[in-house]
């Protein structure tokens, strides 16, 4: 079984973007307003079963629905969508995980094994320099193919806001 090397510190945020988006729910086909983010991490270092140090990168594609307050919704229609991002500050949004409807399907290959990755939650911290600074709670499901023990971590990311 491979060993993750200093997982919490070594999984490094590389870049990311976020934009307002609408998707159709897999559950009932109805439109869902929310946000779509594309996030890249580098340097997932591990020791493979042969004892060699390896490295992997991770791309997360996540969507979350966010219902702003009625005040923010009115401002959004008359001013701009930046108010929607501001409405996320301080709110922890729990995301659906597999097999729940509308879960975000993400994975990484470590030691030639498929490792599902669940993004459990996202919380807006602040808006700065046209970026949403957010905290992600992530779980690597290494036990899925007996690749390694499940690993959870919290990462802060700076997502460029695309209008």
- Domains contained in the chain, number: 1
**Is pLDDT above 60 for 140?**
yes
pLDDT, residue 68, reads 57
Alpha-carbon span 3 to 46, nearest angstrom:
6
pLDDT, residue 69, reads 54
Which of the pair, 76 or 108, is modelled with greater confidence?
108
pLDDT, residue 37, reads 94
Instruction: Give pLDDT tens digits for 21-79.
Output: 888 888 898 888 888 999 999 877 777 777 788 888 889 999 988 765 554 454 444 44
DSSP letter string, 94-135? EPP-TTSTT---EEEEETTEEEEEEEEEEEEEEEETTEEEEE
**Is pLDDT above 80 for 81?**
no
Residue among 91, 93, 94, 66 nearest 81 (CA): 66
Do β-strands 151-161 and 12-24 pair in parallel, antiparallel, or remain unpaired?
A: parallel
Output the average pLDDT for the chain.
81
Residue 135 token pair = 């905290």
Provide the domain limits for residue 61: 3-161
pLDDT, residue 17, reads 94
Beta-strand (E) ranges in the chain? 3-4, 12-24, 31-47, 53-65, 92-94, 106-110, 113-128, 131-140, 151-161
* Structural contact between residues 44 and 58, judged by C-beta atoms closer than 8 angstroms: yes
**Is pLDDT above 90 for 123?**
yes
pLDDT, residue 66, reads 72
Alpha-carbon span 147 to 110, nearest angstrom:
7
Residue 97 contacts by C-beta under 8 Å, 6 or more apart in sequence? 103, 118, 120
């Amino acid at each position: 079984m491979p060993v993750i090397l200093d997982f919490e510190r070594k999984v490094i945020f590389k870049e990311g973007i976020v934009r307002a988006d609408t998707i159709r729910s897999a559950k009932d086909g109805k439109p869902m307003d929310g946000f779509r983010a594309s996030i890249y991490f580098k340097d997932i270092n591990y020791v493979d079963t042969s004892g060699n140090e390896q490295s992997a990168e991770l791309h997360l594609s996540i969507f979350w629905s966010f219902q702003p307050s009625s005040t923010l919704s009115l401002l959004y229609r008359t001013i701009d969508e930046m108010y929607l991002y501001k409405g996320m500050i301080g709110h922890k949004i729990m995301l659906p995980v597999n097999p729940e409807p509308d879960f975000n399907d993400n994975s990484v290959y470590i030691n030639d094994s498929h490792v599902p990755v669940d993004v459990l939650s996202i919380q807006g911290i602040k808006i700065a320099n046209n970026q949403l600074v957010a905290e992600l709670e992530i779980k690597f499901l290494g036990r899925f193919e007996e690749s390694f023990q499940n690993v959870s971590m919290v990462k802060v990311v700076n997502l460029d806001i695309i209008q």
